[in-house]
């Protein structure tokens, strides 16, 4: 073979190899991206996003833990939570507040916002308890005791999910309670009991658990109780739709479900 032809073929081989390397790398990235999307939606997008999540007040403590865990496993992601009663969060969404995802303490509120959200998925459940001062000085044993006119009982307002659940279980037992105040969130109810401004209040089991040494929790039998459901969804106005979807999907993952379970939430 002539030397010139050999050199040409050798150069062509080198050029072909050089072109194939970046093509192979691109093919590998695409495969990994597709696989990653199936395992954890939008992982690449989530790694560069700053997310704002509107969440029910009863999720305050557990979501701070969950958010830290998510940020650790998704370097570069930052999550800012805004906690309030679900009815307040709904009003914020309807008024166009900038946010990426929403988690409420009931399906009714989420359903009201169906034109503004993606498809919601229930990520956790909860139950109610009677919160009392530490040591239960009024010796409250059950729902029927809340009808005592000598007790200062505080409930959440009717438009608040925990307020609706409270009235549902009281009405089912035909118990009439005249609250000394009606609060805008479950945390506000808990605070009234903690501060001694109320003898008792109906809160979620998980909220009572956040105040050890300050309040006691009187369990309500299952047949007299109600199950609260927490749906999560992305917001259609999000500027980080892909990353928001990844976080919402993660809330149903084994890692997130363990964090919720450790805080006392039920599996959906």
Query: 196 with 65, same domain?
Result: no
Instruction: Give residue 205's pLDDT.
Output: 97
* Rounded Cα–Cα distance for residues 27 and 156 (Å): 56
Same domain, 195 and 111: no
Mean pLDDT, rounded, for 232-249: 97
Does any domain span residue 169? Answer: yes
Structural domains of the chain, count: 3
Q: Are 76 and 198 part of one and the same domain?
A: no
Same domain, 163 and 137: yes
Domain that holds residue 18: 1-39
Do residue 146 and residue 208 come from a single domain? yes
Q: Which residue stretches of 141-240 are H helix?
A: 161-172, 186-194, 205-208
pLDDT, one tens digit per residue, over 204-234 is 999 999 999 999 999 999 999 999 999 999 9
Work out the average pLDDT over 155-179.
Answer: 97
Contacts of residue 177, Cβ cutoff 8 Å, sequence gap at least 6: 146, 147, 153, 155, 170
On whether both 251 and 222 belong to a single domain, the answer is no
Q: Do 27 and 143 sit in the same domain of this protein?
A: no
Residue 137 and residue 88 share a domain: no
pLDDT band at residue 40 under the 50/70/90 scheme: very low
pTM exceeds 0.85: no
Q: Are residues 233 and 116 in the same domain?
A: yes
Domain contains 163: yes
Same domain, 250 and 174: no
Structural domain contains residue 268: no
Domain check: are 121 and 136 in the same one? no
Side-chain half-sphere CA neighbours of 191 within 13 A = 11
Banded pLDDT at 129 (limits 50, 70, 90): very high
Residue 193 phi/psi, 5° resolution? -70, -40
Q: Is the pLDDT of residue 21 over 90?
A: no
């Amino acid at each position: 073979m002539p030397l010139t032809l050999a050199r040409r073929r050798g150069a062509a081989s080198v050029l072909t190899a050089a072109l194939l390397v970046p093509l192979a790398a691109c093919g590998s990235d695409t495969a990994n991206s597709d696989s990653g999307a199936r395992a954890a939606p939008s992982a690449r997008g989530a790694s560069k996003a700053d997310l704002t999540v509107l969440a029910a007040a009863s999720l305050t403590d557990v979501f701070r833990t969950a958010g830290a865990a998510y940020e650790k496993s998704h370097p570069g992601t930052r999550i800012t939570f805004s906690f309030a009663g679900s009815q307040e969060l709904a009003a914020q969404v309807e008024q166009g507040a900038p946010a990426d995802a929403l988690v409420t303490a009931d399906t009714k509120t989420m359903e009201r916002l169906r034109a503004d959200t993606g498809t919601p998925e229930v990520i956790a459940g909860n139950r109610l308890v009677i919160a009392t001062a530490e040591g239960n000085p009024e010796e409250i044993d059950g729902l029927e005791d809340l009808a005592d006119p000598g007790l200062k009982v505080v409930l959440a307002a009717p438009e608040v999910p925990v307020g609706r659940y409270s009235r549902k279980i009281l009405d089912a037992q035909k118990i009439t309670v005249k609250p000394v105040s009606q609060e805008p969130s479950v945390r506000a109810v808990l605070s009234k009991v903690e501060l001694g401004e109320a003898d008792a209040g109906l809160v979620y089991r998980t909220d009572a658990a956040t105040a050890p040494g300050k309040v006691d929790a009187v369990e309500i039998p299952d047949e007299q109780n109600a199950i609260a459901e927490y749906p999560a969804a992305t917001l259609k106005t999000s500027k980080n739709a892909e990353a928001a979807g990844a976080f919402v999907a993660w809330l149903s993952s084994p890692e997130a479900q363990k964090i919720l379970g450790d805080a006392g939430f039920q599996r959906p």
